[in-house]
Structure 1
Amino acid sequence: MALLIIKIAVTLATVLALAWLAERLSTRVAGVLAGFPLGTGVALFFLGYEQGPAFAADAARGTLLGFIGAQALALAFAASAGQNRIKTLVLSLLAFVVVALPLSLLDLPLWAALLASIAFTLVAHRLMRHLADTAITLKRRPGWGVHIARGVISGLIVVGITSAGYWGTAALSGVLAAFPVTFFPLLAIIFWQHGPAPAQTLVKHYPAGLGSLITHTVAVFWLYPLIGVYWGTLGALALATLWSFGWLAWQRRNALA
């Protein structure tokens, strides 16, 4: 129970921080950082803690394929975002389910899963690069009701998805761990409060943020069996951090050039 509370608390704090960042700094930056492996990292950590490092490392192969489903979610949102918010969010969730669950039946080696994940990331990035970068104009600071709503939305998704990640095979657990636990609540919050344009900015930059997740997941595959769950998690997060800030620095340099 204590571990479950820690998992929920960390994820909720991340969602709230990213939403705050998007409102006050940049939806582009928030979109990239939304790919940081906190939701997925927590899920893989708990799989390793409860079922062993080998199980989590095996699940990591499924997680790489699950990222294809996560990007299908982003693409479905970009294509359907409009005034009907509930329909758009439901279609996005269905896109993840329809794409990700069949992928959990595949038993691909790491290199094949990695190549498939990278290839789809490049495709998704290309398909959404035409979307405009739209900043959020904050007319007034969110009240306590907004913060409570954010907590409820993200909390329900965290409990449902990460709990489901402990059922079934390692491949199924890995694919479910790829669900964008922090990104989707953030996307729903921005979409619901500020409309489709800023939310589409988030999904536009989400594939770039997935570089961090892919780096983390490959590191989990190699490090968990070698140095264990704790040190393996620290090492994987360190590599993911290098990717995230390296990508942002590269984008900034290109923007100034």
Structure 2
Amino acid sequence: MLEVPLSWQLAKIAASVSMVLGLGVIAVRVSPRVAGLLAGYPLGTALALFFIGLEISPLYAAQSAVHTLAGFTATMALGAGYWLCGRTPGMRGVLLGTCGGLAAWFAVSLVLAQFDFTRLSGTLVTLCAIVVFSLLFRRIPDSVASARAPFSWRALFARALLATAIIFVITTLAHWVPTAWAGTLAAFPITMLPFLLILHLSQGPAPTATVIKHYPMGLGSLWSYALCVSYTYDAWGLVPGTLAGFLVATLWLLGWMKLQRWWSARRLKARPGV
């Protein structure tokens, strides 16, 4: 295992905190629905794969990204476990939801780790999972987060501690585990889980469930990022490969949001009397 420079460790902290805070601002100032879609943007996954490539090798990160394509299934399972177990407000709901979510994630990850995925098979597994979980989450009602006070130092510290701990665990384990597990770990909701916990504590289970509901349909951006860097990391290097991945992911997200607006407008016109 290579010694990781202090500057890289500090970069992990800064990136993790800024991502979690950004999602929190969106949820309160815009809506949990939009935050759920953006939770599917390659924030935590990009951070994990980038530092895996930086600390180990770009080739190892590219190979891990292939397994990340299937690992998003475990992430959706975490959301389902959290939703099913964390339906009560307060710390009790947070703890039950976290335990249920982590148990679901680990169980699905154990199954995924038994297979040697290709880009095609990993994509097909996640596409099937998106359909299944979208149907499962369909009956969750949309809820809007209420206005809240600006972030406190306590909330800032909690986000920093949890997000940093998760990214440090993932990038450290990547030095010791096969690429199958490293890729699955990279798909772990590094930024979404701390965001869910804080949102649950401050707003209750309803807005939290709304974020979980819309998460699967936002995964196209994550999928396109992982697929892109699986090709570009080893061929182009980490920085150009990361930029290419974000470009592809952004184009996907913009196209998806445009399609949603078109579909909503079409449904509105189809209503009687409109």
In the superposition, the TM-score normalised over structure 2's length comes to: 0.88
* Alpha-carbon distance in 2 for matches of 1:175, 1:248: 27
Quick one: distance in 2 between partners of 1:142 and 1:236? 31
Deviations 1:77-135 (A, max 9, x none): 22222223211111111111111133123112221111111111121112112211100
Provide the C-alpha distance between the structure 2 equivalents of 1:89 and 1:47, rounded to a whole number of angstroms. 25
Matching of residue 122 in structure 1 with residue 131 in structure 2? yes
Structure showing greater radius of gyration is: 2
Among candidates 213, 234, 239, match of residue 222 of structure 2: 213
Is there any run of 5+ residues in structure 1 with no aligned partner, and where?
A: none
Aligned partners of 1:11 and 1:182 also within 8 Å: yes
Change (3 A) 1:55 1:255: same
Q: How does 1:102-251 map to 2 (within 5 A)?
A: 102-251=111-260
Give, in angstroms, the shift of residue 51 of structure 1: 2.6
Query: 1:105, 1:91 → 2: CA distance?
Result: 22
Give the % identical residues.
Answer: 36
Identify which range, 152-161 or 195-204, moves more after superposition: 152-161
- Secondary structure of 2:139 counterpart: coil
Task: Return the offset for 1:176.
Answer: 0.8
- Residue 140 to residue 42, structure 1, CA distance change in 2 (3 Å): closer
2:215 aligned counterpart, secondary structure: helix
Which of 8, 15, 24 is matched with 1:19 structurally?
Answer: 24
CA RMSD in angstroms, aligned pairs only: 1.6
Would the aligned equivalents of 1:43 and 1:165 in 2 still touch at CA under 8 Å?
no
What is aligned with 2:73?
A: 68
* Structure 2 equivalent of residue 3 of structure 1: 8
What TM-score does the superposition give when structure 1 sets the normalisation length?
0.94
- CA distance in structure 2 between the aligned counterparts of 1:198 and 1:16, rounded to whole angstroms: 17
1:95 pairs, out of 104, 117, 137, with 104
Supply the distance in 2 between the matched residues of 1:157 and 1:226 (Cα, whole angstroms): 28
Contact residue 105 and residue 172 of structure 1 kept, 8 A: no
Matched residues, number: 257
Cα distance per residue 1:58-88 (max 9 Å; x no partner)? 1112111211110100111222222232111
Contact 2:36–2:218 (CA under 8 A) maintained in structure 1: yes
Residues 5-26 of structure 1 show CA distances to partners (whole Å, capped at 9, x for unaligned) of: 1122112101011111101111
Output the amino acid matched with 2:249: A
Structure 2 unaligned runs (5+)?
1-5, 267-274
Q: How far, CA to CA, are the matches of 1:145 and 1:137 in structure 2? A: 20
Q: Aligned with 2:61: secondary structure?
A: helix
Q: 1:55 is matched with which residue?
A: 60
1:130-185 Cα offsets, whole Å, 9 max, x none, are 21110011254443322222222322223223332332111111111110101111
SS at match of 2:194: helix
In structure 2, relative to structure 1, the CA distance for the partners of 1:154 and 1:54 (3 Å cut) is closer
Counterpart CA distance in 2 for 1:57 and 1:72 is 24
- AA aligned to 2:96 is K
Separation in 2 of the partners of 1:139 and 1:38?
24
- Amino acid in structure 1 at the alignment position of 2:61: A
Aligned partners of 1:150 and 1:228: how far apart in 2?
Answer: 31
